[in-house]
């Protein structure tokens, strides 16, 4: 006979009252229920988590610059040859200006001449002969000076259009790794404070998800859902975000 059977016999033999057996069974049931409830409470407590967002922000200075411009002439079909010759002359004027400005040839990329049709309601009547030129340098100040002096090209007879200067930071990949670690530590600190205020202790990191990076002008509050990379300013600020989940004890 097992222990439960022996216990049952003891109860029956020690008390002849008709309420003894039901009371004993009820007591055993309460003990079992309390044990099960206690076990469930422990399991629930062990699975408590807290999810929080951590962030990190740094200020960076661009270490590379790019200047794009297009030399162009518009003509009809009969003047295509002359327009191409004019674009070639514009390129010579540009290269002379860049050389005087101290920009090395290796920093200049010249695309082949292209011809686009300019359509009207009666079909193509004019043509746009153009050539794209890109200048890149790690000397941000030099590229800026060259772009600002572009009026010298106009006085030299060149016809050009530009999209403006672009500024980049070349060590962004390494910086992102460091900032993700900083954002995770920030999330851990925030979560620990919340847990302590509730009388608990923060446990291990359960999961973490990287958010998008926002690279904006300094003091800007602009953000985009898929991240942002401002190229219009030399000085920028970069913000990283991490969504982390920790266990709570």
Helix (H) or strand (E) holding 4: helix 3-14
Q: What percent of the chain has pLDDT over 70?
A: 80
What's 77's DSSP letter? G
pLDDT number for residue 210: 95
pTM of the model: 0.73
Q: Does the pLDDT at position 211 exceed 80?
A: yes
Query: Is the pLDDT score of 37 beyond 50?
Result: no
Average pLDDT over residues 113-140: 89
Put residue 123 in one of left, alpha, beta given phi > 0 → left and psi -120 to 50 → alpha.
left
pLDDT, residue 235, reads 97
Helix or strand or coil: residue 45?
Answer: helix
Lowest-confidence region among 20-34, 97-111, 125-139: 20-34
> In the prediction, which pLDDT does 7 show?
43
Q: Would the pLDDT of 13 be above 70?
A: no
Q: Are strands 228-229 and 214-217 parallel, antiparallel or unpaired?
A: parallel
pLDDT the model gives residue 214:
97
* Residue 155 confidence (pLDDT): 65
- 31 — pLDDT class (breaks 50, 70, 90): very low
Q: Indicate if the pLDDT at residue 107 is higher than 70.
A: yes
Q: What is the pLDDT of residues 149-180, one digit of tens each?
A: 887 777 666 788 888 899 999 999 999 999 99
Return the beta strands (E) in 64-176 as ranges: 64-75, 108-110, 114-120, 123-137, 160-168
pLDDT tens, residue by residue, 179-204 = 999 999 999 999 999 999 999 999 99
Give dist(CA 32, CA 7) in Å, integer. 15
Helix 3-14 / helix 20-46 crossing angle, nearest 10 deg:
140
């Amino acid at each position: 006979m097992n222990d439960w059977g022996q216990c049952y016999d003891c109860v029956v033999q020690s008390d002849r009252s008709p309420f003894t057996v039901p009371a004993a069974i009820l007591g055993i049931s309460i003990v079992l229920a309390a044990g099960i409830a206690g076990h469930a409470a422990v399991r629930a407590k062990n699975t408590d988590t807290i999810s929080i967002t951590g962030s990190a922000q740094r200020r960076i200075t661009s270490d590379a610059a790019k200047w794009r411009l297009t030399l162009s002439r518009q003509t009809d079909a009969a003047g295509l040859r002359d327009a191409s010759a004019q674009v070639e002359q514009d390129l010579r004027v540009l290269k002379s200006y860049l050389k005087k400005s101290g920009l090395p040839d290796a920093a200049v990329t010249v695309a082949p001449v292209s011809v686009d049709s300019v359509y009207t309601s009666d079909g193509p009547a004019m043509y746009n002969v153009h050539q794209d030129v890109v200048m890149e340098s790690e000397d941000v100040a030099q590229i800026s000076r060259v772009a600002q002096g572009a009026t010298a090209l106009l006085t030299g007879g060149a016809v050009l259009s530009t999209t403006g200067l672009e500024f980049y930071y070349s060590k962004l990949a390494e910086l992102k790794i460091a900032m993700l670690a900083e954002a995770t530590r920030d999330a851990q600190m925030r979560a620990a404070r919340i847990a302590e205020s509730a009388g608990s202790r923060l446990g291990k990191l359960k999961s973490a998800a990287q958010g998008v990076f926002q690279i904006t002008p300094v003091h800007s509050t602009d953000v985009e859902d898929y991240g942002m990379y401002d190229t219009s300013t030399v000085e920028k600020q970069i913000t990283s975000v991490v969504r982390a989940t920790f266990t709570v004890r």
